[in-house]
Amino acid sequence: EAQVTQNPRYLITVTGKKLTVTCSQNMNHEYMSWYRQDPGLGLRQIYYSMNVEVTDKGDVPEGYKVSRKEKRNFPLILESPSPNQTSLYFCASSLGGGGAFFGQGTRLTVV
Amino acid sequence: AQTVTQSQPEMSVQEAETVTLSCTYDTSESNYYLFWYKQPPSRQMILVIRQEAYKQQNATENRFSVNFQKAAKSFSLKISDSQLGDTAMYFCAFNLISNFGNEKLTFGTGTRLTIIP
């Protein structure tokens, strides 16, 4: 089954404690992205990747890092989380133009 | 920069009726894609329908259809014979393939649709 898998689904952490949200896709897609969803703002792109070792900033990259060492994986790293990063996060992958496939979402709370 | 506007934060309709969700966008580009995504209470983002800007024919997917007006930069979603399972947040999204290949989706703020039994 074609899917994008994110883990964990829910995460509560404390300010400053590094965390990683994993993302994996099994569709051999070149393009992958991370979005955050906040009430009244829709989804906004954090980072994207066009292929292995090729990543770049989206609209709201501050406080986040990513890496793309393998085509299927695209982890999101928060090295020093802050309360304003409390949000719903989505990983997405696509071939190009056909619309993105989204993961199940990760609800992150930073206290 | 591209923007997407959904001017209806909430809507409700009786089951089996037809409902239309509005979306407008702003871009100076001519080649792009438009999408409607559905987000039910499970939070999963589900692609409902897709429209290529170069196609004049409106896309349809079963009970879902769009009215794409390129000159007016309008992209509305019509849901016919609405069902309880259609209750969800609906997002309009724009995809411009830039020269750098960023598959970036620009989203509207969403319309919360409730189907009333």
Of the candidates B47, B102, B107, the beta carbon closest to that of A48 is on B102
Which residues make Cβ contacts (< 8 Å) with residue B77, sequence separation at least 6?
B20, B21, B23, B36, B48, B49, B64, B65, B66, B90, B92
What average pLDDT score do residues B72-91 get? 97
Interface touch A42/B43, C-beta < 8 Å: no
Which residues in chain A are closer than 8 Å to B91, comparing Cβ atoms?
Answer: 42-43
Query: A69 to chain B nearest CA, in Å?
Result: 18
Q: Is residue B86's pLDDT more than 70?
A: yes
Mean pLDDT taken over chain B: 93
Assigned token pair, B78: 């019509």
A42/B108 Cβ within 8 A: yes
* Residue B101, pLDDT score: 62
Instruction: Return the pLDDT at B98.
Output: 62
Low-confidence ranges of chain A (pLDDT < 50): none
User: Contact, B86 vs B39, CB < 8 A?
Assistant: no
- Contact of A52 with chain B, judged by CB distance below 8 Å, is answered with no
pLDDT of B99 > 70? The answer is no
Confidence bin at B2 (pLDDT 50/70/90): confident
Lowest mean pLDDT among A58-62, A95-99, B34-38, B113-117: A95-99
Instruction: Kindly give, in sequence order, each residue whose CB lies less than 8 Å from that of residue B1, ignoring residues fewer than 6 positions away.
Output: none
pLDDT at A104: 96
Q: Would you say B103 and A94 are in contact if contact means Cβ atoms under 8 Å apart?
A: yes
Place of tokens 């349809």: B60
Residue-level pLDDT at B56: 86
Chain A CA closest to residue B92: A42
Report pLDDT for B72: 95
Element containing residue A25 per DSSP (H, E): strand A19-25
Provide DSSP, A43-65. EEEEEEEEETTEEEE-S--TT-E
For A33, which of B33, B44, B104 is closest by C-beta distance? B104
Query: Looking at the complex, does the CB of residue B64 fall below 8 Å from at least one CB of chain A?
Result: no
pLDDT at B97 > cutoff 80: no
